Copies of this chain bind each other. A is one copy, B any other.
């Protein structure tokens, strides 16, 4: 339907046989009606240690996305600027660090986790929430799980989510799948999603683009947002 459908960052890792298998998914991507911006886990801990390769930070900052986090800062600023100019509602997520919010010794696997420092989960200053923005705290990967996000979106008449943040293979994917399941049109902004693993980043974007979402380039999203009218719930 369009030659651009596979013109994305996964081009160098997906073999031609797989593209052939997925050829029936080709379609025109778009931004649906009544969009909001959803910024996933843009908190301090993923920027720690600076713009290095993540494996060089694995010992000191095991949750840092290093250079991938830092390279996404400028595109993400542009996305926020375009979203705010279009009057979009902006939702953030971050970790729930509140005392007593969960049973303290229970985990689903035997993985050992480091103690939590609340400052790790402050939103990066470049994307500081403004009055009227909503910040969802969560305990799981998906911003929908165990949170009232869905209720807010319904009340506001939101039907489309423009998604950025990290990690592509973790919270972004879990959230995007839930958003799709719940009936939203989901747009993932390629240059504004990031991950510690380039291969997981690419394969997850490929998976989501074919199954659940429209992966779009920042430039196309910004161009579109110049034409958008914000979703406002009418008072009936």
Contact = CB atoms under 8 A, between A and B. Distances in A.
A125 to B, nearest CB: 16
B157 A157 contact: yes
Given A58-B23, A169-B207, A150 B150 contact: yes
B110 A89 contact: no
Each complex incorporates copies of this chain amounting to 4
Interface in A6-46: 13-15, 17-18, 20-25, 27-34
Contact of A197 (B21, B101, B142, B197): B21
A183 interface: yes
Nearest to A145: B181
Interface residues of A, number: 94
A152 B103 contact: yes
A203 interface: yes
Contacts of A54: 17, 21
Interface in A73-122: 89, 98, 100-104, 106-112
